[in-house]
Amino acid sequence: MKIQRKSIKQNLLGILAAGAIALGANSARAQTPVTNLEMTVTNDCSIEWVWGTNYQVNARSSDETRGYVGGDTNNWIEDGSNATVSASAANEDYIFSGWTGDTNASESTLNILVDKPYTNLVAKFSDNKTNGGVVTNGVPFRWFTQYGLTNKTASGELEDSDGDGMKNWQEYIAGTDPTNSASYFWFAEFVWESAPGHNETGTYYTTEQDFIDYGIPTNTQIPFTNYVMDHASSRLLVVPDSLTNRDYGVDSSSDLVSGIWNKETNSSGNGGTLIFDMIDDTEKAKFYKVNVKE
Ligand SMILES: [Ca+2]
């Protein structure tokens, strides 16, 4: 007979017999569960069923691509006994970052005195970006791995692996490919001049002569589908391939000599073409820069 709830179960440890002349090895409390007891009863006697409590211990990884758990997980542990559960990162790209659920312990190996069920031990793992303990520009190791770059160090962050002028850490922030010299962070400026009050809707294609040169490839065209140009002098700053997990901003200056830049606007990326409409900008001489941050 076994009594079991979801994470607690009672196991029959043995049977005690007293006052009887009990025969056989099962006549006293057994160390292991006993399912049969044969007695020859010759006078008054009593028997006692002895039960032990077991609790379930179960640990899991918050992300099995980043790390795993081992030890006494997915086990039944006797009440009052110790269980050991450990967490390990899957590879050098990740590090163990603590437990959540039944405990908030920070050590990767847990020694638990089991006096209740532990069914929600969740190991957390985060990006390894410490470069041997030194945090520099915060590039995750997995990003180097993604692009086949093996120098996962501070010097690797500062390299320009594809020779496009952007350092690898800058390409990580911008979400560009550090191994493709045609992939780098850039933006375009498009100025639409029309009569005051003019309002047009349509698809606009910019060509290189519309741009101030920010390193835009020749003959690149960017479509603005159904974009309303409703100002006499609309000025659009365009980030072609924005990322949803990055923030973009525009700073401006009227004087490059002073080096003073003022924040104009900012926006989260939308996963596609991000357009900053500097619609109220009437200054003729103005300089812009677009920035991106994680
Ligand atoms: Ca580069």
Predicted confidence (pLDDT) per residue in 33-61, tens digit: 455 666 666 777 666 777 789 999 999 99
CB-CB contact of 39 with 93 (8 Å): no
* Residue 178 C-alpha from the chain's centroid: 21
The DSSP H or E segment spanning 209 is none
Q: How far is the CA of 221 from the centre of ligand 1 (A)?
A: 23
How far is it, in rounded angstroms, from Cα 56 to Cα 45? 36
Q: How far is the CA of 183 from the centre of ligand 1 (A)?
A: 8
State pTM to two decimals. 0.67
CB-CB contact of 252 with 265 (8 Å): no
Write out pLDDT tens, residues 175-234.
999 999 888 888 776 655 443 444 444 334 443 333 333 333 333 444 444 444 444 455
Token representation of residue 128: 């390894």
How far is it, in rounded angstroms, from Cα 204 to Cα 210? 11
Q: How far is the CA of 211 from the centre of ligand 1 (A)?
A: 23
